[in-house]
């Protein structure tokens, strides 16, 4: 059993619509802690992170919104994530996906101190691989993966990344909305992409099993970053970035069940939940159910597979 540490990140400054700031409380109301305790885990809720905003140098890209605020969130979350990762299994409650710039960089530091490479399972309709210069919308929830992998263009605007994640250690699933600038930038990296076309054509099990085998062979630390828009909006409407054609209920559960069976998961993000857009808590409850799958809930007991 694990000691799960809940850490709220009510950040909404990286998104185009307000509402994600209510996400952490919605997940608590949907009984996330209770679901984890029912599985035998201990739960410590450390409340919500609160950043200290300090002005940063203005960027030449005038489209960028809330640079000062997002930079402050990254700094605050990186420190809190590092601390939580050294104390248990952190589950970061978002909040828009810009929070991953802080949570993943903080966890990467903890993993490096433990002598483990960090691997990231990125479940999202978007790769979030924009630089500050390439983002056309200026919404900074589109930048975290570029940032925490140490891509250029963030120095002086975001906090320095002390332990960048090797792009070869990232496996993205469910992509179906990729900007040309992101596509070109990712083509220069070793990120593994398994978009919705690939999921439709080749399925989930074989490629995910191959990725988990790589994590195990490297004695790695696996971080799962789950964006609501990974899931089809017909069953997860509480998100401001809906993209039709997402993962089904069973596909999402299967991915998280397989990750749990690997025994490699050390931390998790739950991001982009916007309760203002939800239907009577439907999406929040689904995220709680999916988290339960990642932490051991199953329909029937099965022997743990060897990856």
Looking at 82, 126, 130, 223, which residue is catalytic? 126
Options 13, 69, 96, 227, the catalytic residue: 227
- Establish whether 190 is a catalytic residue: no
Peptide bond into 95 cis (omega under 30): yes
- Token couple for 22: 């209510």
Tokens of 30: 């949907």
CA–CA separation, 163 and 53 (whole Å): 23
Annotation says 130 is catalytic: no
166 tagged catalytic: no
Q: How far apart are CA 86 and CA 110, in angstroms?
A: 6
| Catalytic position from the list 69, 75, 96, 124 | 124
Q: Could you tell me the CA-to-CA distances from 34 to 40, 202, 300 in Å, in that order?
A: 10, 36, 20
The one catalytic residue among 13, 96, 97, 163: 97
Choosing from 128, 251, 269, 278, which is the catalytic residue? 128
Has 126 been annotated as catalytic? yes
Told to judge if 163 belongs to the known catalytic residues of this protein, a careful annotator would answer no
Element containing residue 72 per DSSP (H, E): helix 67-85
Which member of 13, 48, 130, 141 is catalytic? Answer: 141
Give the pair of three-digit tokens for residue 70. 């997002």
Is 41 a residue of the active site? no
Candidate list 13, 257, 272, 278, residue with the active-site label: 272
> Which one from 69, 229, 251, 278 is the annotated catalytic residue?
229
Encode burial over 265-304: b for 16+ CB neighbours within 10 A, e otherwise.
bbbbbbbbbbbebbeeeebbbbbbbbbbbbbbbeeeeeee
Active-site annotation, residues: 97, 124, 126, 128, 141, 227, 229, 272
């Amino acid at each position: 059993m694990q000691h799960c540490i809940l850490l709220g990140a009510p950040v909404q400054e990286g998104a185009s619509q307000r509402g994600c700031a209510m996400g952490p409380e919605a997940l608590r109301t949907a009984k996330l802690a209770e679901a984890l305790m029912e599985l035998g885990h201990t739960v410590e809720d450390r409340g919500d992170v609160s950043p200290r905003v300090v002005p940063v140098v203005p960027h030449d890209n005038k489209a960028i919104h809330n640079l000062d605020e997002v930079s402050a969130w990254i700094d605050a979350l990186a420190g809190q994530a590092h601390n939580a990762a050294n104390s248990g299994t952190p589950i970061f409650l978002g909040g828009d996906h810009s929070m991953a710039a802080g949570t993943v960089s903080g966890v990467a530091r903890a993993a490096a101190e433990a002598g483990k490479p960090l691997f990231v399972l990125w479940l999202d309709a978007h790769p979030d691989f924009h630089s500050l210069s390439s983002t056309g919308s200026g919404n900074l929830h589109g930048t975290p993966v570029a940032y925490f992998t140490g891509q250029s263009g963030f120095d002086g605007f975001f906090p320095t990344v002390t332990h960048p994640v090797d792009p070869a250690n990232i496996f993205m699933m469910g992509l179906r909305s990729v900007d040309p600038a992101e596509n070109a930038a990712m083509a220069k990296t070793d990120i593994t992409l398994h978009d919705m076309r690939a999921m439709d054509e080749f399925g989930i099990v074989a490629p995910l099993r191959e990725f988990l085998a790589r994590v195990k062979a490297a004695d790695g630390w696996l971080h799962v970053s789950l964006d609501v828009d990974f899931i089809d909006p017909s069953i997860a409407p509480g998100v401001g970035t809906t993209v039709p054609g997402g993962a089904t209920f069973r596909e999402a559960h299967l991915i998280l069940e397989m990750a749990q069976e690997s025994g490699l998961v050390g931390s998790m993000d739950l991001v982009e939940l916007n309760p203002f857009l939800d239907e009577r808590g439907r999406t929040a409850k689904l995220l709680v159910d999916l988290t339960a799958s990642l932490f051991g809930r199953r329909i029937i007991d099965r022997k743990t597979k060897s990856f």
